[in-house]
Amino acid sequence: MTKVKLVDCPRDAIQGLHDFIPTERKATYMNAVLQSNIFDRLDFGSFVSPKAIPQMADTAQLIKLLNLKDVDTQLLAIVANQRGAAEASAFEEISVLGYPFSISEEFQKRNTNKNLEESFEAVKQILDIAQKNNKTLLVYISMAFGNPYGEHWDSEKVTHWIDQLQKIGVSEFSLADTVGTADATQIKSVFEATSEAFPDMNIGAHFHAAPFEWQPKIKAAYEAGCRSFDGAMQGFGGCPMAKDELVGNVPTEGLLEYFDLANNEMITNFTTQFNKLING
């Protein structure tokens, strides 16, 4: 099997938890991930309003506790506007800024309080900040496989917006199955369309799925050419707008096993550390 790149997303896993997890506990788990040097990137935090996501209010402090010596894994931080991009870009340790761009206007409004035009303008400004600070901008195409609001969707809408964003200088994308409703056939169709339209572009997958239903999604994307996948330990987290409460992230330990990237001892260690992160 051709080697893939994996992104572990503890930020996505824990951001919705009500009880604040101490910064030191977050750092312990994330350092275990970083020191393994298995992952291409670590989605570790976000620079958004602490009122909106209190769990991520300590992202700047968390950076100071991460051991990045002899580590190849890149730190990825989520931003929602220019202010967040500027704050994140001030940290040399951060390599990648992630911005959620929804092709569903309703979801964009709910997620970042912007319409599509305003979100597109925000990407331009965030990209400018990223480039001036030698950061990579990764744009997540949210609702890439449809939406629950009755808005028009097809694969051409996905390729249209990637094309528009590419034209302004964005070169990295991840397609998000935001509410976890995409099936393997749909995923294969969309990734084939994007691979054909943008053969030289790095387009990843950020899927949500119910437990034990993630493998067909990963298999379909891989067979259609995708080589970068996001996950969170134990499938924790996911989108609160998913209709099925069981829908969460793709389990990182499942991806490690599926792509034969770690032995059982290492996977057990990650799982143990994650349980300590969540439960103390």
CATH number at residue 188: 3.20.20.70
Q: Which tens digit of pLDDT belongs to each residue from 210-238?
A: 888 999 999 999 999 999 999 999 999 87
In the chain, the amino acid numbered 83 is: R
CB atoms within 10 A of CB 117: 10
Indicate the number of domains in the chain: 1
Q: Is 248 exposed, middle or buried (0-12, 13-18, 19+ CB in 10 A)?
A: buried
CA 106 vs CA 1, 4, 110: distances in Å: 39, 33, 6
Can you spell out the DSSP letters for 85-103? Answer: HHHHHT-TTEEEEEEEEES
Per residue in 33-55, pLDDT tens? 999 999 999 999 999 999 999 99
User: What contacts 68, CB < 8 A, 6 or more positions away?
Assistant: 34, 75, 93
What is the model's pLDDT at position 242?
Answer: 46
The tens digit of pLDDT for each residue in 195-213 reads: 999 999 989 999 999 888 9
Range(s) of the domain holding residue 13: 5-279
Q: CB-side exposure of 258: number of CA atoms within 13 Å?
A: 19
Calpha distance 229→7 (Å, rounded) = 6
pLDDT of res. 1:
59
Contacts of 126 (CB under 8 A, 6+ apart): 79, 81, 82, 85, 97, 99, 137
For residue 246, the model assigns a pLDDT of: 53
Q: Single out the residue of 248, 240, 244 nearest to residue 107, CA to CA.
A: 240
How far lies 250's CA from each of 91, 115, 124, 212, in Å?
Answer: 29, 28, 30, 9
Question: Which residues of the chain carry a pLDDT beneath 50?
Answer: 242, 244
55-62: long-range pairs with CB below 8 Å, 24+ = 55/14, 55/15, 55/16, 55/17, 55/20, 55/21, 56/11, 56/15, 58/23, 58/26, 60/87, 60/91, 61/23, 62/23, 62/26, 62/27, 62/30
At residue 3, the pLDDT reads 86
Is 32:273 a contact under the CB 8 Å cutoff?
yes
DSSP 241: T
What is d(CA 231, CA 168) in angstroms, rounded to the nearest whole number? 28
Residue 106 in tokens: 């309703």
